[in-house]
Amino acid sequence: MKSTNQRLLSCAVLSIAAILLAGCGPIGPVQENIDPLVAEMATQPLVFDPVEATAVGYHQHTAAAAEGESGATTDLDTLLGDYSSSAIAAQVSFYNDINARLHSAEDMPPREKFNSERWINYAVVENRVARALYRLEKEQPFKHNPGFYVRVLGNGLFTPVVVEYAPEADRYADIIARLGQVPTLLEQAQANVTKSSELQIAAAKEGVDGLIALIQKGIPAKLPASLKGQYDGAAGPAVQALQGYNQFLSGLDSSADWRLGRTLYEERIKVYSRYEESLDSVLGGLQAEFDETYGQLIETARPIHRGIYGGQRAPNDFALMRDILDVVSDENRLSSGDGLVERIEQDVDEVKKFMKSEEVIVVPDVSLTIAKTPEFLSLTNPVDAFQAPPLLDPQEGAQYWITPIPADWSRAQTLSKLREYNNFKLKIVAIDGYARYAQAVLSAQLPDRNDRLLRNVDGNRGFTRGWNWYLIESSINLGFQSGGQQFKLNWLKYKLEFLASCILDIKLHAMDMPLEEARELLRRQVFMEAGAIESAVRKIQLTPTDTALSYIGSKQWQQVKEGYQEATTDFSLQSFHDKALTSGPMPPAELIYSTVNRHKD
* CB-side neighbour CA atoms (13 Å) of 514: 3
Residue 497 lies in a domain: yes
> Residue 289 pLDDT more than 70?
yes
Rounded to 5°, the CA angle 327-328-333 comes to 110
> Residue 203 pLDDT more than 80?
yes
Query: Across the chain, what does the average pLDDT equal?
Result: 92
Distance (Å, whole) CA 495 – CA 476: 11
Place 31 in a pLDDT band, splitting at 50, 70 and 90: low
> Residue 65 pLDDT more than 90?
no
Nearest to 417 by CA among 539, 501, 325, 531: 531
Place 568 in a pLDDT band, splitting at 50, 70 and 90: confident
Place 344 in a pLDDT band, splitting at 50, 70 and 90: very high
Place 364 in a pLDDT band, splitting at 50, 70 and 90: confident
Task: Report the amino acid identity of residue 580.
Answer: A
Residue 125 lies in a domain: no
Residue 16 lies in a domain: no
**Looking at residue 407, what is its pLDDT?**
85
Give per-residue pLDDT as tens, 402-411.
999 988 899 9
**Looking at residue 549, what is its pLDDT?**
98
Provide Rg for the chain, Cα atoms: 24
Residue 457 lies in a domain: yes
> Residue 379 pLDDT more than 80?
no
8-26: average pLDDT: 47
Distance (Å, whole) CA 265 – CA 270: 9
- In 234-297, DSSP assigns E strands to none
Task: Give Cβ neighbours of residue 508 (< 8 Å, ≥ 6 apart).
Answer: 259, 515, 518, 537, 540, 541
Give per-residue pLDDT as tens, 103-128.
997 888 889 888 889 999 999 999 99
Residues 383, 431 contacting (CB under 8 angstroms): no
Give per-residue pLDDT as tens, 477-515.
999 998 789 999 999 999 999 999 999 999 999 999 999
Nearest to 333 by CA among 343, 347, 321: 343
Count: domains in the chain: 1
**Looking at residue 133, what is its pLDDT?**
98
Give per-residue pLDDT as tens, 430-479.
999 999 999 999 999 999 999 999 999 999 999 999 999 999 999 999 99
Task: Give Cβ neighbours of residue 559 (< 8 Å, ≥ 6 apart).
Answer: 6, 8, 9, 13, 588
Give per-residue pLDDT as tens, 144-171.
999 999 999 999 999 999 999 999 999 9
521-535: average pLDDT: 94
**Ranges 272-276, 290-294, 329-333, 529-533, most confident:** 290-294
Residue 107 lies in a domain: no
Residue 230 lies in a domain: no
Q: Give 129: exposed, middle or buried? Use CB within 10 Å, 0-12, 13-18, 19+.
A: buried
Residue 101 lies in a domain: no
Q: Which residue has the higher pLDDT, 269 or 12?
A: 269
Question: What domain range is 375 assigned to?
Answer: 279-581
> Residue 400 pLDDT more than 60?
yes
Residue 21 lies in a domain: no
Residues 115, 25 contacting (CB under 8 angstroms): yes
Distance (Å, whole) CA 394 – CA 140: 31
Give the 3-state secondary structure of residue 484. coil
| Pairing assessment for the beta strands 73-75 and 60-62 based on DSSP bridges | antiparallel
16-28: average pLDDT: 48
Rounded to 5°, the CA angle 322-324-329 comes to 95
